[in-house]
Structure 1
Amino acid sequence: MQNLTEFPGNATFHSSLSVIIKVCVVIPFFCVFLCCIAVMLHIFASHRHFLDTTRYILFSYMLINDTLQLLSSVLLFLFVMGRVKFALVYCVPLLFFSTATFQNTPLILATMSLERYVAILYPLQRPAAWRSDQIWIIILSLWLISCIFPIIHYSIGKRDPAVDILSTPVLCKSTLINSSPIQGLFQAAVSIIFFAVVAVVILFTYIRILLETRKLRQDKVSVTKAMHTVLLHGFQLLLSMLAFTHPITETLIVLHANWLPEDISFFNYFCFILIPRFLSPLIYGFRDQSLRVCIGKTFLCCSNKVKPSVRGKLQDNLLAS
């Protein structure tokens, strides 16, 4: 059997077809995610009582953060698929934004677990920072923490003297910026610390709430719901940690399948970046009874608005005939 390199036209066709398939898979998936997030954010904006509750404010913040993270990662994906090149001055901010929002996710999960812990153990003596009108202080602190490490990460790297930051067009990939070994070690250390701390926080809050259920004789329903919520945050953390399993999946794929490197990268991106970010807010949102009722009413109102318009068009067609 002859090598495909002997047929450059055939190889180019297969490469173009592969790019088209990948884009056609990612874009509809991302559009569905945006529609679901838009519905949830519309509900939060339309119902004042959601914005007066700390838990829902943090959840809406998580929705916005995941949307920004997916938006930046999908843009980077499209640039790489289209072989679009531009200067580092535009590439680095996009990579920085994607990294910061990615690291912000576990911090939000830890904060939401701590919020449940404070609400259950200190319902009448809640600290001022955990109140709905002061929670923005914690949110700004999370953004500050998630932005500090990417700044350090990109500052310790060595720049190629042949690449001009303002004019040299490059393919915007993280491997281009993270070429230094010390950057790889720093990124691995930060990721381990981030997720280890969050795992300890979630485990601590779950155990404390579990012990509290044995003391309380009343209102055990709300405590049980809080336990389930903390468990859900642990599951969300597990989904987020799947992004760091790509070395294992790459090894397994190489051993059992003859995939191209770009196909392996796409598999890891779709399974361990897109899907966890898509499932995490949906599971949390549709699990909440109050939010689920509002989502049902929103879709019901949309269907009721569509039906009269369709009925009116049918009547106009009958009259015209």
Structure 2
Amino acid sequence: MADNNSLVGGAVSVMGTNDTLTVVQFLIIIFLCINLLLIITFFRKECFYTTTRYILFAVTLLSDSLMLVMSDILLIVNYFHFPIQVWVCIIFNVVLLVYNIVTPVTLTAMTLERYVAICMPLHHAELCSTRSTMHCILIIHGLSSVPCIVVLSTFFASASFSMYKQYSSCSVEIFMLHRWQDHVRSAVQQFYFLIMVIIIVFAYVKIMKVAKAASGEDKKSSGKGLKTVILHGFQLLLCLIQMWCPFVETAALQIDFVLFVDIRYTNYILFNITPRCLSPLIYGLRDETFFHALKNYAFIGFYKRNI
């Protein structure tokens, strides 16, 4: 097991060259700046932090930003061969495991909000009040914590006390002391994503029926809601593919180590960073109200300060 851990850590640390690491840092800095700009805009207008879809949008921004920062810290730590104690690694991975699930679960909640707004407009104000949204956020984090609890429970039951004081390259693989633990983790995550896919498909079909039957402004609103659900589905698909990446990487490792390194880096960019950069596009740019506020508060406000 020690050999396997060192191999995984080595793979992360040599994930190639300075060029690839620089590209990742450049992308992460850009998206963190965009997310920060959107978060500031969110808190500048009352209608945003009292409306369900914008509150959930802010949750995804904060979740994605935290996920990018924590994963990038581990990437840099492993790149420069800094082993850390296992108990510190546990803290990092608790955050990563939880917030890796928070975003897709929140996307599913946002899809249900669109479904209620379009298919059940008379009940929207009641079901999607600010208080209900706060409860929804607690439920989202509770549900997102279950896979983390499963992983850590199996690890705590199998690991010796001395292991927590050992130094190791930090990755989630160090918690997989037995192959069955990896299978359990994968099964729980795949179950979650299966449920989320079913919910998004259900909402898509229902909204599509309403869009076909609607006319005028209702048809325009339904059509926009349908496009939003499609984009949420695409985000969820990328997150789902991320859950399959370990299987592909394991197969590549058995073939060629360099191939494994290349695939792991590609997976990190395509299926870890990319899905977390689509939320600003979906609500930050496509939403007319939010985009108008973004222009007024961010760009015009900064311009006036410099005058």
Q: Which AA in structure 1 matches 2:258?
A: W
Deviation at 1:128, TM superposition (A): 4.0
Q: CA RMSD in A?
A: 2.6
SS of corresponding position for 1:49:
coil
Displacement of 1:264 after TM fit?
Answer: 3.3
Q: Distance in 2 between matches of 1:232 and 1:182?
A: 34
Deviation per CA, 1:245-274, whole angstroms, max 9, x where unpaired?
43447757987x882543432222122211
Structure 1 residues 250 and 279: CA distance shift in structure 2, 3 A: farther
Q: Residue 17 of structure 1: CA displacement?
A: 10
1:204 to 199, 202, 205: 202
Correspondence for 1:10 = none
Secondary structure at the counterpart of residue 47 of structure 2: helix
**How far apart are 1:180 and its partner, in Å?**
1.6
Contact 1:100 1:146 in 2 (8 A): yes
Report the Cα offset of residue 227 of structure 1: 1.2
- Structure 1 residues 253, 268: CA separation in 2 closer, same or farther (over 3 Å shift)? farther
Q: What residue in structure 2 maps to residue 301 of structure 1? A: 301
Deviation (angstroms), 1:139: 0.7
Structure 1: which 5+ runs fail to align?
A: 1-14, 309-321
* Alpha-carbon displacement from aligned partner over 1:101-156 (angstroms, at most 9, x marks no partner): 11122211111110011112222223745212321101100101111221121211
1:11 match: none
Residue type of the partner of 1:295?
Answer: L
Structure 2 residue identity aligned to 1:193: F
1:313 alignment counterpart:
none
CA contact (8 A) 1:106 1:194 kept: no
Tell me, in whole angstroms, the C-alpha distance in 2 between the residues paired with 1:242 and 1:284.
23
| Alignment match, 2:96 | 98
Whether 1:134 and 2:118 are equivalent positions in the alignment is no
Cα distance change, pair 282–213 in 1 and its aligned pair in 2 (3 A): closer
Q: Is the 8 A contact 1:239 1:280 kept in 2?
A: no
- 1:269 is aligned to 268
Q: Identify the match of residue 44 of structure 1 among 42, 45, 60.
A: 42
> In 2, Cα distance between the equivalents of 1:113 and 1:191?
19
Q: 1:272 and 1:17 mapped to 2: Cα distance?
A: 16
- 1:8 maps to which residue? none
Is the 1:129–1:137 Cα contact (8 Å) retained in structure 2?
no
Deviates more, 1:279-288 or 1:51-60: 279-288
2:277 is aligned to 278
- Return closer, same or farther for 1:85/1:250 CA change in 2, 3 Å cut-off: closer
* Higher Rg of the two aligned structures: 1
Pair 1:181–1:249, CA change in 2 (3 A): closer
Question: Match for residue 123 of structure 1?
Answer: 121
Q: How does 1:76-91 map to 2 (within 5 A)?
A: 76-91=74-89
Q: Which amino acid aligns with 2:82?
A: V
Code of the residue aligned with 1:172 in structure 2: it is C
The one-letter code matched in structure 1 to 2:86 is L
Counterpart amino acid of residue 74 in structure 1: D
Question: Within 1, Cα distance between the matches of 2:15 and 2:53?
Answer: 45
Residues 1:249 and 1:293: Cα distance change in structure 2 (over 3 Å): farther
Alignment of 1:137-152 (within 5 A): 137-152=135-150
Aligned to 2:5: none
Letter paired with 1:177: F
Between Structure 1 and Structure 2, which shows a larger proportion of helix residues? 2
Match of 1:195 among 162, 184, 193: 193
Q: CA deviation at 1:95?
A: 0.6
**Distance in 1 separating the partners of 2:303 and 2:290:** 18
Q: Please give the alpha-carbon distance, in whole angstroms, between the structure 2 residues aligned to 1:296 and 1:82.
A: 40
Whose relative contact order is higher, 1 or 2, with alpha carbons under 8 Å and at least 6 apart? 2
Identity over the aligned pairs, expressed in percent? 28
Q: Which moved more, 1:201-210 or 1:175-184?
A: 175-184
State the 1:217 CA deviation: 4.2
Distance 1:88 1:248, change over 3 A: closer
- Count of residue pairs brought into register by the alignment: 291
